[in-house]
Amino acid sequence: MTPAIRRFPDLPALTEAALAAVARIAREAVAARGVFTIALSGGSTPMPLYAAMAGRGFGAPFASTVFFFGDERVVPVGDRRSNFGAIAPVLFTPSPIPVGNIHPMPVEVRPLELAAATYEDEVREVLGGGADVSGALPRLDLVLLGMGPDGHTASLFPDRPALGETRRLVVAMEPPTTVEPRVARLTFTLPLLNAARNVLFLVGAKGKEEPLAAALHGPPDPHVPASLVRPTDGGLEWLIGEG
């Protein structure tokens, strides 16, 4: 599927467009299935979107929205590097979201392979889908993603064997060598990302020009993991901030 690409002069303009896109997808999901399921991205770019979602709403009732995380850094929730820890005070604390609708990744579980399998079970339990990827995959209504300067997305880093994963939906990842923070991660795999009904990338272009060109216009390339996100039967949109 060819991605829709929209460019914006700065982060506030990108955020407005992102909020409108989330609201459109959320309304469609609630009308069709009575619930809106979304996987959140870490990183700095989506933070103003999360604040806007909490403050202005996003097209679906809070009580009808289920939140997952597309990736997480394996650090305690109170650590400043935690995605959940960064997002919760911006999006969850100010909103009347039932706590049962929020699904943080279980970073405290060891070994990390068990943490990944536990989260995969949680995704399957909430979203349904077949018992393995030969059956129907769980489908999120929306997966938000970012892209790092090395082309990574979620916590799928360049040239890692996990990029070839076909069976597991969530995996543990060794710390990256290309970007900070250099801590282990849990991450959705490509089969789960590409099963989504909609994928929305939010990316500030500065310092990422090369991987951006490769992801948008090049062939699928494990050296630029974002280029491997191509939803099988879903929408793909890139919102790019030039400022």
**Nearer residue to ligand 6PG within complex by CB, 61 or 149:** 149
* 154 near ligand 6PG (CB under 6 A): yes
Which of positions 17-76 make contact with ligand 6PG (CB under 6 A)?
41-45, 71, 73
| Number of amino acids touching ligand 6PG (CB under 6 A) | 16
**Nearer residue to ligand 6PG within complex by CB, 40 or 60:** 40
Tell me if 240 sits within 8 A of 212, measured CB to CB: yes
* 15 near ligand 6PG (CB under 6 A): no
Q: Phi and psi for 9 in degrees, rounded to 5?
A: -70, -25
Residues 89-128, one symbol each (x = binds ligand 6PG by CB under 6 A, - = not), give: ----------------------------------------
Residue carrying structure tokens 């097209």: 59
Choose the binding region for ligand 6PG from 6-14, 142-150, 213-221, 234-242 (rule: CB under 6 A).
142-150
**Which residues contribute to the site for ligand 6PG (CB under 6 A)?**
41-45, 71, 73, 83, 146-148, 152-155, 204
